[in-house]
A = this chain, B = another copy of it.
């Protein structure tokens, strides 16, 4: 590697993260080396001639060392529960203004543009509520099992947390993620286009073990209903075959600690590969039954309108999908040169098997590196090198999973599904780079 190859480029995160309005205006006005010069200036100041003089007499004040190198810092446990640096305060969940009339039935999106690896920090996990969130008292919370079971039962949190548990990394994606793009709205950043996606390590009890204890009738009882304790009594039907696979968890742990209140504390269902609405939060009841319940949230919402006017119901698996998170919409390439294109891929059917990346709008494709571990029904991080020549470019990623399914383009997806859907948009995302270095959301058929 030639170091200068890497020196040429510089990418800035989406505007809401690092750049000030003045920075953006400077870049948009074409003064593309503004920041570079500012940084070089700062760098030169730090290496001022005084430093050279001081190097021989060892005086840290004259050396102009930063305060963190010359003073006693903060003690341990200053924050018994730690928080991010103040310099990262722009990296937060954001509500899309005006998306719903009540904040309790809205969405706060995960800032994918600033994340690394596959784990989503719990503080940045996306939120989608139907009647707001509460901090439920775990000592008062109960899980009831009823329906086609020998013994109707009520479990306390103590009962559940004493059972044999498992821990697994899985993605959760709202069925409506990327929903605005059906109508070609082209929301500005990946936070708003794909940010109803998170990936965590969940800990809990396989639902199968709990149903076994209650003597579930697996011959007749081919479906379960999961019900939440929130005001909307969120209810979803789930096929028993998913439960029998052992993958469905009654979960209390997320990323090593208890679930966060807005993600279902103290108990939620984990249904790997399936859209988020089925991962019922504040889980209070599981009923075993012989047919789907056709509740409001599966008979009115969360359906896919097809081109012929029919609709698909109970389409719940999140098909293979990917997105480039850096560079992405709202970011700015400040110079020509080397970039590490990075993104996320996932499939509700199993493991991601490959991700190809195009920088010319889908004419040429190159395979990206998949970071280990590549886990089933989890996010996989991909990376690939790119040298930007300063000319317009269109960046795309296309994932495939172990079943052989390949992520479709918008042309393919619309041929099958039309343009009137809200849910289950897994089309290839395109980011357009123009000569000024600005990156924006475009649709390529």
Binds B, one of A24-32, A89-97, A306-314, A394-402: A89-97
Q: Do the beta carbons of B66 and A95 come within 8 Å of each other?
A: no
Q: Do the beta carbons of A381 and B257 come within 8 Å of each other?
A: no
List A27-42 residues whose CB lies under 8 Å from chain B: 39, 42
Q: Do the beta carbons of B69 and A229 come within 8 Å of each other?
A: yes
Question: B77, B102, B259: which contacts A93 (Cβ < 8 A)?
Answer: B77
Query: How many copies of this kind of chain does the complex include?
Result: 2
Whether A59 sits at the interface, judged by CB under 8 Å, is: no
List A105-152 residues whose CB lies under 8 Å from chain B: 106-108, 114-125, 127-129, 131-140, 142, 151
A69-B121 contact in complex given A11-B162, A43-B156, C-beta closer than 8 Å = no
Whether A322 sits at the interface, judged by CB under 8 Å, is: no
Residues of A in contact, count (CB < 8 Å): 122
CB distance from A1 to the nearest CB of B (A): 5
Binary interface encoding of chain A residues 252-268 relative to chain B, with 1 for a CB under 8 A from any of its CBs, else 0: 11011111111001100
Q: Do the beta carbons of B132 and A72 come within 8 Å of each other?
A: yes
Q: Do the beta carbons of A82 and B383 come within 8 Å of each other?
A: no
**A79 vs B39: C-alpha distance when bound (angstroms):** 33
Whether A214 sits at the interface, judged by CB under 8 Å, is: yes
Binds B, one of A175-183, A271-279, A371-379: A371-379
Q: Which residues of B contact A119 (CB under 8 A)?
A: 119, 201, 255-256
Q: Which residues of B contact A214 (CB under 8 A)?
A: 3
**A77 vs B233: C-alpha distance when bound (angstroms):** 21
Q: Do the beta carbons of A154 and B43 come within 8 Å of each other?
A: yes
In the complex, the 7 A-B pairs of residues with the closest C-beta atoms, listed nearest first: A75-B103, A73-B132, A117-B167, A80-B92, A116-B253, A68-B134, A116-B203
Which A residues lie at the B interface, using CB under 8 A? 1-3, 6-7, 9-11, 39, 42-43, 46, 66-88, 91-95, 102-104, 106-108, 114-125, 127-129, 131-140, 142, 151, 153-154, 156, 158-159, 162-169, 201-203, 209, 212-214, 229-231, 233, 252-253, 255-262, 265-266, 282, 284, 338-340, 342, 371-373, 375, 381, 383, 385
